[in-house]
Chain A
Amino acid sequence: MEKNETKLKIKVDNLDLYYGDFQALKEVDMDIEENKVTALIGPSGCGKSTFIRTLNRMNDLIDDVTITGNITYDGTDIYGGYDVIELRKKIGMVFQKPNPFPMSVYDNVAYGPKTHGIKNKAQLDEIVERSLRGAALWEEIKDRLHKPALGISGGQQQRLCIARVLAVEPDVVLMDEPTSALDPISTSRIEDLIDDLKKNYTIVIVTHNMQQAGRISDSTSFFFEGVVIETGPTEEIFFNPRNKKTEDYISGRFG
């Protein structure tokens, strides 16, 4: 069967992760394809959040973490071959609870570029507008750019966080349950946004909402107790999963 050449953005080989003595991830393999949405599902504590944080080395911040295995981004090892600051510019992250900084909307979006050395105001203005448009927030917020970011609604705050990430022009956007704290309408808007973003970015999203994974992802991986039980195209996973545990989980029989 003919398949289009899909590039692998991130390749994970045999990843093990220990918090002290506790093994949180066991022999995880995963291929994350370019310009696709990959969803990670699984019950609480299964390791999906831990996994996604490994991809942009946020686990470096925690003491007593041991990681073995191989993770490459665009073919280069993310530990040996990349400076962590550079890596995080390329692989951005949006968190579960919207976390805009206590500054104005403009300053929030401009924060990334500014820390990376861009000082020219015209340039920053352009980046801010572009990123806010990219996050489908510009029209709503262009008149209150210099008002505090904490004064806008939760859904808008999360889109602001997305704009913030887009401003550093990443390749990959990691999202750790980005809509679990939002109302259904905000959730829909962000799902539409993700659908749009995947044209230009590679998206990995952790979600505990099965329907969301079904709605927006191209590929889904089911995590259970630190192990990837099944990976596959989303239609297959949701219509005819191969593994009984996967079937039980997505049918809501546990978890």
Chain B
Amino acid sequence: MSIEKQVDSGRRGLLVATCAAGGVVGVATAGALVSTFQPSERAKAAGAPVEVDIADVAPGEMKVVEWRGKPVWILRRTPAMMATLTKGEGELADPASDEIFQLPMPEYCKNPQRARKEHPEVLVTVGICSHLGCSPSSRLAAGPQPNLPNDWPGGFLCPCHGSTFDLSARVFKNKPAPTNMDVPPYMYLSDTRLVIGKDEKGEA
């Protein structure tokens, strides 16, 4: 739809200027409209950090809280459970947690326990399988069980497609799930209280 007319330079200049200005109007309006898609204050408030009291979580027990609409597991491991973490690392797909699922791996959790040094026995992980998003079931007891190998150290089994994870929520080799489960940023407010979604660097 081009204009096939003799266009003098003054007119061409005006055309360019008007089109440019019109483009700015269009982009500004479109920008404002598209921005309305972004999370609203309500969504952001619902995604705020969650404080959890863990005094009632005995060794070997697990608590589940909600953060950003997802289940977060807080598992206090027994010394026997802790011992299994460094033994069977040959069976794990990514023992050092080099790959991530959705959340960046906090530096302070890059260890076999995937926990902060204040309480290495406490695991905080987002209980969502990295395959297609189901929440795995607990299989904390060690030893042979249906659908699990004979040398099962204890961990989690995802009922949807059979992925298994150890007691640090690290995925075993040759399973549908490609990566370990996420560890959210978290920090201790006291010995018995932690906040999920926030650490020294600020809020997630």
Whether chains A and B associate is no
By a beta-carbon cutoff of 8 Å, the part of chain B in contact with chain A is none
